[in-house]
Structure 1
């Protein structure tokens, strides 16, 4: 049985399942079939958080996460990573739960567990962010891909503070993540783009209108987030995905970039839903296997970024974009 302290943590810190529904959030697509599909994702995150925040041992949490369907399991791991990051912060930054999760059973879901750390960041004061990302030397894509934590932070802020982040388009304050405060708002905007797919219920015209309402300088990062969410989370037909490419116009390469990351993450987790396969095919014009090979071939090591250059993460993204520049729009 979980300790009393764990039960208290769960009762105090775990969001209610109803609080993440589209109706409770006031999202315009509430009640649609796509909303029902998409709502299962944040609810899976909440379940993972609840298990991670309450139970004492990783084994107990892992066994519970294994009961979640393969399509949603990575999202439950997001929630567990969020919980462990919060618990480590509550331990004065000396906790090792997050590291043990990400290097252990969470490794196949490393893309999503990074995002879960970002969810924790959205609930912690910035003074506690300094040690929130554990040293994961030897883990693939670390530390380059740790920018997904900032992406997760941006998603969380947009999902739960929609008026300020989406309607009022308040910019994110810089933070020296991996020593690059200048890139922090861009990475957060990539998460906002993912959130727009949820907020607008996977409806291409409404998603595009929401992106285009932002200043032009922010739209590229938003579109890459749309591509990632549409591919990983689903909720749209092949015709709708083709409409996304058309509406993205000159940013179709950003949508393809997001699809490449989503396909790579799905393959790493060992489960490829049909909607993710479809998203990669429509957005990139190729197969998921092609996307995985591309991501691995053009990957940028952290040390490759020289002084004054973009972070390795953005250099990696640019190499993927360059592969699609012009070609996806013509194919659509």
Structure 2
């Protein structure tokens, strides 16, 4: 049971649900169904956040998170990643994030690392978690989460003025790559800003300078596969609109597919997105992610191993598609 102090932490630290409504955010509304799903995702995220800051221990937080419906549980763990990082920043507190990742959260590690980035966007820099102690490969997802937060809550600065790129430095390494990782998060947020309408999202991406499109499409690809609320024809249109960035889009979708398979939260849409966007089965897309995952998570070259991983996923999916088309002819 959570303590009085846990309940107080929840009331003090949890953002209001109203912050996630489409009206408050000023996002595009495609239809009532998409609006309802996106707002529900926001509610579940905040529920996971509250569980992490209110619970008396990581184990108790885990018990609460496991009560969330399976198809939405990843969003709750994402919120818990943010909540755990915020909890650990409080005087006299610690171990919440580590405990979360050591338990059932290890199956949701992609989402938890994204949640860390949300906390970084909300906390003063001196209170950021020591990113150097985290997984060198997955820590880049924290910047994805940071970029998502900024585009979601600071839409005027990060979306409505697309030619402005905001400087960022951290202690996670390869500071010249941080803008790329943040753009991947911005791209993921554009799926929400555009209300899951692929035509609107495509137009939003095209407003940014060309050199940013690949990362933006990768993020949007992750969101369209994980969050869904889009049909087969719409996905096909999104793929077509991506043009030369089609395999960056597929790489993001493959990440989403692997995240759901690893966590056991696969839904019908997972299979649809894998087929339409990645050109393979859900298990096939996830296997590509597993097969290409770097054995050495820290790279000595000019780019992090994370970027090499993303590149290899996109290349293998593209190669597999060419082989498949050749066999069909």
Mark yes or no: TM-score above 0.5.
Answer: yes
Which residue does the alignment assign to 1:179? 173
Q: Give deviations 1:116-154, integer Å, cap 9, x for gaps.
A: 11111110122223515644xxxxxx3212211110010
Q: Give deviations 1:95-118, integer Å, cap 9, x for gaps.
A: 211011011121111110011111
Indicate conservation of the 8 Å contact 2:132/2:172, yes or no: no
Indicate conservation of the 8 Å contact 1:89/1:132, yes or no: no
Indicate conservation of the 8 Å contact 1:255/1:283, yes or no: yes
Between the aligned partners of 1:296 and 1:221, the Cα distance in structure 2 is 21
CA distance 1:311–1:296, change in 2 (3 Å): same
The match for 1:163 among 145, 156, 159 is 156
Indicate conservation of the 8 Å contact 1:23/1:30, yes or no: no
Q: Give deviations 1:188-237, integer Å, cap 9, x for gaps.
A: 11000000001111111100000000011111100001110000110100
Which residue does the alignment assign to 1:147? 140
Output the TM-score relative to the length of structure 2: 0.92
The match for 2:274 among 280, 290, 314 is 280
| 1:309-320 → structure 2 map (5 Å cutoff) | 309-320=302-313
| 1:193-232 → structure 2 map (5 Å cutoff) | 193-232=187-226
CA RMSD of aligned residues (A): 2.0
Q: Does 1:112 align with 2:111?
A: yes
1:286 is paired with a residue whose SS is: coil
The match for 1:242 among 232, 236, 253 is 236
| 1:7-86 → structure 2 map (5 Å cutoff) | 7-29=7-29, 32-86=32-86
| 1:273-312 → structure 2 map (5 Å cutoff) | 273-302=267-296, 305-307=299-301, 309-312=302-305
CA distance 1:306–1:58, change in 2 (3 Å): closer
Between the aligned partners of 1:255 and 1:30, the Cα distance in structure 2 is 21
More displaced 10-residue stretch of structure 1: 284-293 or 212-221 = 284-293
Once the two structures are TM-superposed, the CA of residue 271 in structure 1 deviates from its matched residue by 2.0
For structure 1, the residue ranges without an aligned partner over 5 or more in a row are 136-141
Between the aligned partners of 1:296 and 1:95, the Cα distance in structure 2 is 32
Aligned residue pair count:
323
Q: Does 1:260 align with 2:258?
A: no
Once the two structures are TM-superposed, the CA of residue 45 in structure 1 deviates from its matched residue by 0.7
Once the two structures are TM-superposed, the CA of residue 299 in structure 1 deviates from its matched residue by 1.4
Between the aligned partners of 2:292 and 2:69, the Cα distance in structure 1 is 32
CA distance 1:209–1:247, change in 2 (3 Å): same
Indicate conservation of the 8 Å contact 1:99/1:134, yes or no: no
